[in-house]
């Protein structure tokens, strides 16, 4: 196969090199196209554009496969823990027991946030959405930790990573405590990362915290499934923000804001709200599937469809399978699980969804588990953010390690031609 692509334009021919991938599509390197032809490429929404070369995550949308550093998501979600997956994403290899224990101890050193930050937290209204609070507080971390990271120093990079992993987890729990008017809880370094997060979020004042293995295993599974997803909207926001050499806290804050939208991480909240609405409306599934198909109606089936997966999202498969078992172990019955399963069935038999290859995505069933774990709907996207954190950091780190240039897309200008200013009284 040729290692170049030939393009003819204006009676001349240019050759552009092919960049080979390990898996998936190879790419045409168009970086010299403008210099050679005067042309740029146009791809609104980046539907056909690779923004970087990455070693972290591979996803095959046609086959419905997902690998972190080469390991299949099915194996990791079954056998690993969230902390181990964090280590894997950040370092590229699975840790030894010693490495993992040290990593977890090192993160614990940073599981606190300046008390002045608490004053900022208290000044938010209780009505504020937890994701808005989380993004603001993450950005505020910069003010309280102003030291600039030397990205050429592995020690500095490691320290920045630990700070982010420790402090962000604390902030996630703060958004919940604020929402429900509860005093904040401090870290307990004797617990593992996920249990520590859980106790900081839920422990009532003066109550002793007991680890519930069903709850912690379920959280581990969900966090692992969300931990990275290559160049999605929020990760691209993190990378492009960081490409201006903005710091890690500022870059992650941009990621939190991007994740919040209902077409991205905000979909998990939107799914439960949709399922509740369908339940209260009498449960006529065909009616809602028809509404989703109607182009004159803004309603979309939330938790369905994906930019890259044109097959089952492997994460949705795992979560759906886990749902029944987890609800049973927790002794929870949730009517919306049946509505979700029914809706999936009706949609997957409908030619509209079949032709467009629209399948349930990670957000379709995750909220049902969060709910069973006692996590309120408005906190779902915060849970997604905590899960995605190691992915964001790994991607930011890869971008800085590779010394990538500032991200700066171009445009095709279609506005007004040059014209002269018209004074107000002549308009």
Contact footprint for ligand CMC (CB under 6 A): 232, 263-265, 267, 292, 300-307, 356, 358, 361-363
C-alpha to C-alpha distance for 76 and 73, rounded to whole angstroms? 5
Q: Which of 156, 306, 334, 350 is catalytic?
A: 306
Angle between helices 82-91 and 213-226 (to 10 degrees): 20
Least distance between ligand CMC and beta carbon 347 (Å) = 8
Alpha-helical regions (H) of 188-313: 193-202, 213-226, 233-242, 248-260, 267-280, 285-293
Q: Which of these, 158, 177, 56, 173, lies nearest to 107 by C-alpha position?
A: 158
Nearer to ligand CMC, 106 or 350 (CB): 350
Nearer to ligand CMC, 202 or 364 (CB): 364
Least distance between ligand CMC and beta carbon 38 (Å) = 30
Nearer to ligand CMC, 160 or 274 (CB): 274
Query: H-helix or E-strand containing 330?
Result: helix 314-330
Nearer to ligand CMC, 90 or 302 (CB): 302
Nearer to ligand CMC, 345 or 356 (CB): 356
**Strands 71-72, 4-9: parallel, antiparallel or unpaired by DSSP?**
unpaired
Nearer to ligand CMC, 251 or 361 (CB): 361
Least distance between ligand CMC and beta carbon 140 (Å) = 25
Least distance between ligand CMC and beta carbon 78 (Å) = 21
Side-chain-side CA neighbours of 275 within 13 Å: the count stands at: 26
To the query of whether residue 306 is one of the catalytic residues in this protein, the response is: yes
Nearer to ligand CMC, 261 or 283 (CB): 261
Using only the alpha carbons of the chain, give its radius of gyration: 23
C-alpha to C-alpha distance for 160 and 158, rounded to whole angstroms? 5
Least distance between ligand CMC and beta carbon 307 (Å) = 4
Contact 69, 56 (CB under 8 A): yes
Least distance between ligand CMC and beta carbon 43 (Å) = 12
Least distance between ligand CMC and beta carbon 190 (Å) = 34
Least distance between ligand CMC and beta carbon 332 (Å) = 24
Q: Which of these, 223, 225, 230, 216, lies nearest to 362 by C-alpha position?
A: 225
Nearer to ligand CMC, 255 or 305 (CB): 305
54 backbone φψ class: left, alpha, beta (φ>0; ψ -120 to 50): beta
Contact 144, 116 (CB under 8 A): yes
Q: Which of 129, 226, 229, 363 is catalytic?
A: 363
Q: Which of these, 389, 377, 362, lies nearest to 170 by C-alpha position?
A: 389
**Neighbour order of strands in the sheet with 71-72:** 57-60, 65-68, 71-72
Q: Which of these, 140, 161, 160, lies nearest to 149 by C-alpha position?
A: 160
3-state secondary structure (DSSP) of residue 11: coil
CA 58 to chain centre: 15
C-beta nearest to ligand CMC: residue? 305
3-state secondary structure (DSSP) of residue 113: coil
Nearer to ligand CMC, 279 or 356 (CB): 356
CA 66 to chain centre: 14
Least distance between ligand CMC and beta carbon 257 (Å) = 13
Side-chain-side CA neighbours of 351 within 13 Å: the count stands at: 0
**What letter does residue 269 receive in the DSSP assignment?**
H
To the query of whether residue 150 is one of the catalytic residues in this protein, the response is: no
Place of tokens 């991205």: 264
State in Å, rounded, how far the first CA of the chain is from the last one: 61
Catalytic residues: 306, 363
């Amino acid at each position: 196969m040729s290692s170049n692509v030939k393009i003819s334009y204006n009676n001349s021919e240019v050759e552009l090199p092919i960049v080979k991938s390990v898996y998936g599509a190879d790419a045409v390197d168009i970086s010299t196209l403008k210099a050679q032809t005067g042309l740029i490429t146009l791809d609104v929404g980046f539907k056909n554009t690779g923004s970087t070369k990455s070693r972290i995550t591979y996803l095959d949308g046609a086959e419905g496969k997902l690998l972190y550093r080469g390991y299949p998501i099915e194996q990791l979600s079954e056998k690993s823990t969230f902390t181990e997956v964090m280590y894997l994403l950040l370092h590229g290899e699975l840790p030894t027991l010693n490495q993992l224990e040290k990593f977890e101890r090192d993160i614990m050193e940073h599981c606190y946030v300046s008390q002045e930050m608490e004053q900022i937290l208290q000044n938010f209204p209780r009505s504020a959405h937890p994701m808005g609070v989380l993004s603001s507080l993450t950005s505020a971390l910069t003010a309280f930790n102003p030291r600039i990271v030397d990205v050429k120093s592995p020690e500095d990079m490691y320290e920045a990573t630990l700070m982010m992993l420790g402090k962000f987890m604390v902030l996630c729990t703060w958004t919940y405590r604020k929402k429900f008017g509860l005093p904040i809880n401090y870290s307990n370094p004797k617990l593992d990362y996920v249990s520590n997060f859980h106790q900081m979020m839920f422990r009532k004042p003066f109550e002793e915290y007991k680890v519930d293995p069903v709850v912690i295993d379920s959280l581990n599974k969900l966090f692992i499934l969300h931990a990275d997803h290559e160049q999605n909207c929020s990760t691209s926001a993190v990378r492009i923000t960081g490409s201006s050499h903005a710091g890690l806290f500022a870059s992650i804050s941009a990621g939190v804001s991007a994740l919040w939208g209902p077409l991205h991480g905000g979909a998990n909240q939107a799914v439960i709200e949709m399922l509740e609405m369908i339940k209260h409306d009498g449960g006529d599934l065909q009616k809602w599937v028809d509404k989703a198909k109607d182009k004159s109606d803004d309603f979309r089936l939330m938790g369905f469809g994906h930019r890259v997966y044109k097959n089952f999202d492997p994460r949705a498969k795992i979560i759906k399978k886990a749902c029944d078992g987890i609800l049973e172990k927790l002794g929870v019955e949730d009517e919306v699980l049946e509505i979700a399963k029914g809706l999936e069935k009706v949609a997957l038999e409908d030619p509209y969804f079949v032709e467009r290859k629209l399948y349930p995505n990670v957000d379709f069933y995750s909220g049902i588990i969060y709910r069973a774990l006692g996590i309120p709907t408005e906190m779902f996207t915060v849970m997604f953010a905590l899960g995605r954190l190691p992915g964001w950091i790994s991607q930011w780190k890869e971008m800085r390690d590779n010394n990538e240039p500032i991200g700066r897309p171009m445009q095709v200008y279609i506005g007004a031609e040059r014209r002269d200013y018209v004074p107000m009284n002549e308009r």
